[in-house]
């Protein structure tokens, strides 16, 4: 059912403006805290559609896939910027990326068989975990005094790739702490994680297009589980707002802002969890 054909002009206007604002928020937070992507986009899309009276849980696959498609564009700009400053360790990208590709494959297989309600519950659980990571900031600690061997790199990549695919994130919230554990400076860890986000999002998007191809009931102009109109509306405002977040990050106490945002994530996760249960 092409449900968007049955909403009136005012709802169309709310939908369009909400997507633009969502893009601006995700870009601003990406510049401010180095996060964004699925952490903001998936729940944002969920509650926008819920506010308009649609069964949002039925479209979790679409929200996750669209988030990953947006990460490809944002991640490309981010990697180019970090690489200019020599902050991307391509050797780490290679070692971890091998596991990530396998993890993305596993995540895509799981997504193809899980219901929207199950994905929503899993997202809420992982969001709580990521909020705790943000509060604790494990980048302050060192687990290894040198990079672990290829086996552990590959295992970490599988976990990062699988979880990121299941919830529609670029993996930075998981890969930055792991890379930091290996005594990699934080700025280099962030740049490397941005590159890993592309390793996650590109094959994941292809997977979401394939498993969503021909599925009935998706909004018009969907490419599998990718909403092309939502993608096109979110991208420009997201890119434009990133510099503002970066500017504020140099003026405001970032550790405090991280904790405030983590609190917001906990509230969103709990609400999504209660909606399912």
Measured in whole angstroms, the distance separating CA 214 from the mean position of its chain's CA atoms is 25
pTM: 0.88
pLDDT, residue 143, reads 61
pLDDT, residue 212, reads 94
Q: What ranges do the domains of the chain cover?
A: 3-276
User: Over 80: is that where the pLDDT of 2 sits?
Assistant: no
Percent of the chain with pLDDT over 90: 35
CA distance 212 to 220: 13
Percent of the chain with pLDDT over 70: 87
User: Over 80: is that where the pLDDT of 37 sits?
Assistant: no
Of 91, 95, 166, the residue nearest 125 (C-alpha): 166
List pLDDT tens digits, range 38-49.
888 999 998 888
List pLDDT tens digits, range 93-130.
999 999 999 999 999 999 999 998 899 899 999 999 88
pLDDT, residue 196, reads 92
Task: Give residue 148's pLDDT band: very low, low, confident or very high (50, 70, 90).
Answer: low
CA distance 239 to 269: 26
pLDDT, residue 1, reads 44
Please state, rounded to an integer, the average pLDDT across all residues of the chain.
84
Q: With beta carbons less than 8 A apart as the criterion, state whether 36 and 29 touch.
A: yes
Angle in degrees, CA 272, 276, 277, rounded to 5 = 115
CA distance 140 to 268: 26
The helix/strand count (H/E) of the chain reads as: 10, 2
Tell me the two tokens of residue 61: 């696959």
């Amino acid at each position: 059912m092409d449900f968007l054909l049955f909403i009136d002009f005012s709802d169309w206007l709310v939908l369009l403006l909400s997507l633009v604002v969502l893009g601006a928020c995700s870009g601003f937070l990406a510049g401010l805290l180095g996060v964004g992507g699925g952490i903001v986009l998936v729940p944002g899309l969920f509650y926008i559609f819920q506010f308009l009276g649609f069964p949002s849980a039925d479209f979790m696959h679409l929200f996750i896939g669209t988030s990953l498609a947006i990460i490809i564009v944002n991640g490309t700009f981010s990697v180019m910027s970090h690489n200019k400053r020599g902050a991307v360790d391509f050797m780490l990208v290679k070692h971890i990326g091998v596991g990530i590709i396998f993890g993305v494959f596993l995540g895509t297989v799981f997504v193809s068989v899980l219901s929207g309600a199950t994905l929503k519950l899993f997202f809420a659980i992982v969001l709580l975990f990521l909020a705790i990571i943000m509060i604790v900031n494990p980048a302050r600690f060192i687990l290894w005094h040198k990079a672990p061997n290829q086996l552990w790199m590959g295992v970490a990549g599988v976990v990062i790739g699988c979880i990121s695919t299941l919830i529609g994130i670029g993996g930075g919230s998981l890969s930055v702490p792991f890379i930091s554990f290996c005594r990699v400076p934080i700025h280099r860890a962030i740049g490397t994680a941005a590159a890993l986000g592309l390793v996650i999002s590109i094959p994941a998007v292809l997977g979401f297009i394939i498993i969503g191809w021909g599925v009935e009931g998706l909004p018009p102009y969907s490419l599998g589980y990718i909403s092309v109109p939502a993608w096109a509306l979110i991208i420009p405002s997201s890119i434009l707002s990133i510099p503002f977040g970066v500017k504020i990050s140099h003026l405001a106490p970032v550790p405090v802002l991280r904790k405030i945002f983590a609190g917001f994530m906990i509230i969103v996760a709990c609400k999504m969890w209660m909606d399912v249960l």
